[in-house]
Amino acid sequence: MQKYWKLLLSQVKLDTAYSLRFWAGSITSVIRLVMLYAFWQAVYENRTTIVDISLEQMLTYSVLAVLLSSYIAGAGTQLAAGVLNGDVAIELMRPYDYINKLISLDLGSKLTSIIRETLPMLVVALLFIGIHAPHSWEHALLFLFSTLTGILIGAQIDLVVGLLSFWTINISGLRILRASFLLFFSGTLVPITLFPQWLQIVCTYMPFPSMVFVPVSIYTGQIQGADIYPAIGLQLFWLLVCWMVSRLFWLLAKRRITIFGG
């Protein structure tokens, strides 16, 4: 366990090694926030609500969704690069599990982005944009738990996409597909409740809403009361499914390296 922790820390060191890149990250995320604000201001120009959502609620949702969406990627890109340059084979002769190593590094990156992106964005959002507080204390705690689950689902899906590079040479198409699916169906762009009814039903059969829409809606109170626990249960179900799929793919990928030589 300790070795994975050290791997995580090494990634933190790496991410903070270039202070210029570090602060550039902070600035871009604040700019994104300002653009978000301007966008919704414009949309709400001549009305007070859209489908019963007020500007303040919409801004709160969007800001949190954007904050969260920077955590739902994972180690897939690194994995795909490792497959391409043949490093995966070399990694098999280390006394650790390569996938667990990648997950540790990824968590390390996420730890730095809390400081680099999330904190500055939160400060700006609270001071200037005026997002509202969580629906209740209970909602705040469940939001944190739900967020963590959502992030883990995202990391597993990203690994699965990365693992596909063992079977397809060109993975960039898949990554674009994944990114656009995520943006739309996770609820990062707009809350899923704004979708037409049939599309909302389709969404319940996908893991994507569990990544952003569910945790943020718990924060804002769009999901409340008796609906909360089934929503979290569904998240946990998707986490289990995605984890099993990524492990299966990794087993197959490992078999492929050790038998076909990469």
Partner 1 sequence: MIEVRGLSKHYRIAKRKQGLLGAIQGLFIRKYTSKKAVDDISFTIASGEVVGYIGSNGAGKSTTIKMLSGILTPTSGDVLVNGIVPYRERQKNAKKIGAVFGQRTQLMWDLAPRESYDLLKHIYQIPEAIYQKNLHEMTEKLQLHSLLDIPVRQLSLGQKMRCEFVAAFLHDPAVVYLDEPTIGLDVAAKSRIRSFIKQMNEEKGTTIILTTHDMQDIEELCRRIIIIDNGQILYDGDLHAVKNSFLHEHVISFELDEEKEEILIPGELEGLVTYIPEEGNSNKLTLSFHPETISAAQVIAAVLHHYRVRDVSIAEPKIESIVQEIYERGA
Contact residues for ligand ADP, defined by CB under 6 A: 260-262
The site partner of 97 among partner 1, ligand ADP, none (C-beta below 5 to 8 Å per kind) is partner 1
Sole binder of partner 1 in the list 77, 97, 145, 184 (CB under 8 A): 97
Binding mask 239-258 for partner 1 (x = CB under 8 A): ------------------xx
CB of 72 to partner 1, least distance (A): 25
Radius of gyration of the chain (CA): 20
- Told to check if 21 binds partner 1 by CB under 8 A, we report no
Which region among 69-77, 94-102, 115-123, 163-171 touches partner 1 (by CB under 8 A)? 94-102
- State in angstroms the smallest separation of the CB of 67 from partner 1: 27
Output 90 or 114, the one with its CB closest to ligand ADP.
90
Closest of 92, 93, 33, 91 to residue 63, by C-alpha: 33
DSSP string, the chain: -HHHHHHHHHHHHHHHS-HHHHHHHHHHHHHHHHHHHHHHHHHTTT-SEETTEEHHHHHHHHHHHHHHHTTS--SHHHHHHHHHHTHHHHHTTSSS-HHHHHHHHHHHHHHHHIIIIIHHHHHHIIIII-PPPPS-HHHHHHHHHHHHHHHHHHHHHHHHHHHGGGT-S--HHHHHHHHHHHHHHTTSSS-GGGS-HHHHHHHHTSSGGGTTHHHHHHHHTSS-GGGHHHHHHHHHHHHHHHHHHHHHHHHHHHHHHHHH--
- Per partner kind, with CB cut-offs from 5 to 8 A, the member of partner 1, ligand ADP, none near residue 196 is none
Residue 259 interacts with partner 1 (CB under 8 A)? yes
Judged by CB under 8 A, which of 30, 55, 81, 89 binds partner 1? 89
Q: How far is the CB of 172 from partner 1 (least distance, A)?
A: 20
* Closer to partner 1 by Cβ: residue 3 or 240: 3
Per CB under 8 A, the segment of 26-34, 50-58, 92-100, 166-174 that binds partner 1 is 92-100
Rounded Cα–Cα distance for residues 35 and 28 (Å): 11
* Nearest distance, CB of residue 250 and partner 1, angstroms: 14
Give the nearest distance from C-beta 57 to ligand ADP in angstroms: 56
Q: Which residues bind partner 1 (CB under 8 A)?
A: 2-3, 6-7, 10, 13-14, 17, 86-87, 89-90, 92-97, 257-261
